[in-house]
Structure 1
């Protein structure tokens, strides 16, 4: 269970890194640019720890899939990005793949 919590932390850190990237405005703003590297570095470190007990295929799918879903929601609600049926369907396909990998029964 501890490694799943670490993976959840890695996801949150990755999302913070991506939001910082948006705020960095192409590396033209110093603080968000520095924070982006800190958040991504911490995310990769946490992901590496989680990989000690979680299969890499499952952990990476969850890390990237849930990160994508969270950034999708943040983009819509905070950055006023457009949403379409195709975008939602595409996200659901990603999440279906993540669930499928998790349910495949692969154990570490």
Structure 2
């Protein structure tokens, strides 16, 4: 169950990271509320996952999911450029996430 919590926490991290763009400095109410709710949910689920997962693994996976998801969302939603270096970097982060998962028994 901890891994499910961690993946959901990572997905909510993507939501709040993208949400920050839409809040316009927390001057827009609805995007700000969605962003804050996603932040609270993400941290809650991360803390639930940390009951059984090692902090280094859980935090690394959480940040990795957020990083990869936000980079992809930036390309899709905001038409950010895709370069070969960006693609290789995303692949390396995914490889790191997989490595952390494989190295943890829980």
TM bracket (short chain)? 0.7 to 0.9
In structure 2, C-alpha distance between the alignment counterparts of 1:55 and 1:73, rounded to whole Å: 27
In structure 2, C-alpha distance between the alignment counterparts of 1:96 and 1:69, rounded to whole Å: 11
Equivalent residue, structure 2, for 1:77: 76
TM-score by length of 1: 0.86
Equivalent residue, structure 1, for 2:88: 89
Matched, 1:45 2:44: yes
Moved segments of 4+, more than 3 Å: none
- Aligned pairs (5 A) from 1:10-49: 10-49=9-48
In structure 2, C-alpha distance between the alignment counterparts of 1:9 and 1:95, rounded to whole Å: 16
Equivalent residue, structure 2, for 1:64: 63
Maintained 8 Å contact 1:17/1:40: yes
Query: Is there any run of 5+ residues in structure 1 with no aligned partner, and where?
Result: none
Query: Is there any run of 5+ residues in structure 2 with no aligned partner, and where?
Result: none
TM-score by length of 2: 0.88
